[in-house]
C-alpha cells in the first residue's frame, strides 16, 4: 500500500493530562503544516474538536501503560509516509517546523528536547545494551554511537522503518521500550539522526505515572542482573526501595569512602525522611574527591539537596549557602536558582 506525503502525529495518552494533550494538539495545528493528521490512542476526554484529530479509545491499554500497543495502533491507522510518535505532555515550539521541514534524509530521527525550564531533556543518548539497570549517557548532537537511542516522547520516522521494525508489545512504559526499538532499528541497518535546530518541550508531567512506575519495577525485577554488592545497592536504588538500599550503601561506604557511595547513602536517607542522616552523608560526600576531581554536576546535586533539607528544617542561612555552592559548580542549575530566588523573596517580604 502506498502512503501519501504528509505527517501522522501519533499521540498516546493515559487520560490523566487532558490540558497538556489539548496544548499539544493546538501546538501542532499552529505549525500550519500543509498535510497532516493527529491520532490519539488511549484515553482522551477532550473530544474531537478538529477534523484532523482521530481518537481511538483504548482504556485497558491506557490503564496498563501499554505504550507500545498504542504506538503501533496509531501508526497502523495513520495515512501518511512520515510518522511522529509523541507522549501527551509534549509541545511543539513555533519554530519547530522551520527547523525540520527541509530534513528529508532520515530513517529514524529525534529533535532537540527541553523541559519546562528550557533545559535539555534526554533527547539523544546512548545506553549499554541488554542491561536494564544501565544508566543512559547524553550524547553531543554531533556524536554518533552504535548504542544510541532516541527517547520515546518524540520520535520521527519513515513509515517504511516502522513497517519493518514495530514496537515490542510485550513491553510497557519504562521497560526500555524506546531503547529496544531504536537498537533493533539500528540492527536492521537503518540510521538514527538528531535534528537540534528543531525544538519540542517535554513538560515531564508526573500525573498518571503510577502504573508506568509499577511497570518499571516489574521490568527491573524480571531482568535482574545484580551480582556485586554495588550492583545490588544500585538495583534497590533504581526501584526506589530506599530502606533496602541504605544498609547496602552504608556497608559500601564503610569499605570504600567514595563520593558515589556516600551520596547514594545520603540520597536514600533523604528519601525516607531521615534528614539528619542525609545531611551527615551529603557533607561527607562533598568532602571526598570525585572520580576525576571535577564532577561538577554531582557536587551541585549534593549541595542542592542540602539546600532543600535546610529549607525544610527552617534554616535559611545554611540553605542559602548550600544553594550558592550548588550554583558555583553548575551556574545553569535552574532548580537551585529558583530556590535561591524564593529564599531571597522571603527575606525581602519580612
Q: How far is CA 200 from the centre of its chain?
A: 13
Contacts of 291 (CB under 8 A, 6+ apart): 259, 260
Output b/e per residue, 210-235; b: 16+ Cβ within 10 A. Answer: ebbeebbeebbeeeeeeeeebebbbb
C-alpha cell at 115: 523541559
Between 156 and 348, the more confident residue is 156
pLDDT at 346 exceeding the cut of 70 = no
Q: What is the pLDDT of residues 39-53, one digit of tens each?
A: 999 998 665 567 778
Burial bucket for residue 166 (CB in 10 Å: 0-12, 13-18, 19+): middle
Nearest to 69 by CA among 196, 214, 177: 177
Contacts of 201 (CB under 8 A, 6+ apart): 90, 91, 92, 93, 113, 114, 115, 116
pTM of the model: 0.70
- Tell me what pLDDT residue 104 has: 83
Contacts 24+ apart (CB under 8 A), 310-315: 311/339, 311/343, 312/275, 313/275
- Tell me what pLDDT residue 210 has: 85
pLDDT at 139 exceeding the cut of 90 = yes
C-alpha cell at 322: 548550600
The 10 Å Cβ neighbour count of residue 189 is 8
Across 163-186, average pLDDT: 94
Q: What is the pLDDT of residues 144-158, one digit of tens each?
A: 999 999 999 999 999
> Looking at the domain 4-202, which fold is it?
Spore Coat Polysaccharide Biosynthesis Protein SpsA; Chain A (3.90.550)
Distance between CA atoms of 22 and 155, rounded to whole angstroms?
Answer: 20
Helices and strands in the chain, H and E counts: 14, 11
Domain 225-348 = CATH 1.25.40.10: yes
DSSP state, residue 118: S
pLDDT at 180 exceeding the cut of 60 = yes
Share of the chain above pLDDT 70, in %: 94
Strands 192-202 and 90-92: antiparallel
Task: Return the CA Rg of the chain.
Answer: 22
Element of type H or E holding 40: strand 36-43
Between 174 and 112, the more confident residue is 112
- Tell me what pLDDT residue 225 has: 63
As a whole number, the mean pLDDT across the chain is 90
Between 8 and 129, the more confident residue is 8
The 10 Å Cβ neighbour count of residue 204 is 16
Domain ranges of the chain: 4-202, 225-348
Amino acid at each position: 500500500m502506498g502512503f501519501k506525503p504528509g505527517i501522522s502525529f501519533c499521540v498516546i495518552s493515559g487520560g490523566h493530562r487532558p490540558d497538556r494533550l489539548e496544548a499539544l494538539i493546538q501546538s501542532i495545528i499552529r505549525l500550519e503544516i500543509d498535510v497532516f493528521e493527529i491520532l490519539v490512542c488511549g484515553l482522551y476526554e477532550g473530544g474531537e474538536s478538529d477534523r484532523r484529530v482521530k481518537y481511538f479509545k483504548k482504556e485497558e491499554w491506557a490503564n496498563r501503560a501499554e505504550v507500545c500497543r498504542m504506538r503501533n495502533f496509531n501508526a497502523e491507522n495513520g495515512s501518511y509516509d512520515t510518522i511522529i510518535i509523541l507522549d501527551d505532555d509534549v509541545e511543539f515550539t513555533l519554530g519547530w517546523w522551520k527547523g525540520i521541514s527541509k530534513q528529508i534524509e532520515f530513517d529514524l530521527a529525534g529533535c532537540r528536547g527541553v523541559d519546562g525550564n528550557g533545559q535539555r531533556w534526554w533527547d539523544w543518548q546512548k545506553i549499554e545494551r541488554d542491561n536494564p539497570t544501565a544508566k543512559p549517557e547524553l550524547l553531543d548532537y554531533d556524536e554518533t554511537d552504535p548504542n544510541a537511542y532516541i527517547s520515546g516522547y518524540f520520535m520521527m520516522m519513515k513509515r517504511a522503518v516502522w513497517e519493518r521494525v514495530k514496537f515490542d508489545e510485550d513491553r510497557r512504559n519504562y521497560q526500555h521500550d524506546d531503547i529496544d526499538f531504536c537498537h533493533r532499528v539500528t540492527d536492521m541497518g537503518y540510521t538514527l539522526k538528531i535534528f537540534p535546530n528543531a525544538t519540542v518541550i517535554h513538560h515531564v508531567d508526573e500525573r498518571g505515572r503510577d502504573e508506568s512506575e509499577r511497570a518499571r519495577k516489574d521490568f527491573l525485577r524480571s531482568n535482574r542482573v545484580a551480582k556485586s554488592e554495588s550492583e545490588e545497592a544500585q538495583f534497590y536504588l533504581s526501584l526506589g526501595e530506599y530502606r533496602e538500599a541504605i544498609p547496602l550503601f552504608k556497608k559500601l561506604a564503610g569499605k570504600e569512602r567514595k563520593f558515589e557511595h556516600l551520596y547514594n547513602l545520603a540520597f536514600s536517607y533523604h528519601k525516607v525522611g531521615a534528614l539528619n542522616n542525609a545531611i551527615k552523608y551529603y557533607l561527607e560526600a562533598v568532602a571526598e574527591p570525585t572520580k576525576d576531581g571535577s564532577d561538577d554536576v554531582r557536587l551541585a546535586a549534593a549541595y542542592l539537596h542540602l539546600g532543600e533539607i535546610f529549607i525544610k528544617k527552617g534554616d535559611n542561612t545554611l540553605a542559602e549557602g548550600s544553594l550558592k555552592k550548588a550554583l558555583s559548580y553548575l551556574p545553569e542549575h535552574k532548580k537551585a536558582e529558583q530556590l535561591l530566588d524564593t529564599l531571597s523573596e522571603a527575606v525581602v517580604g519580612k
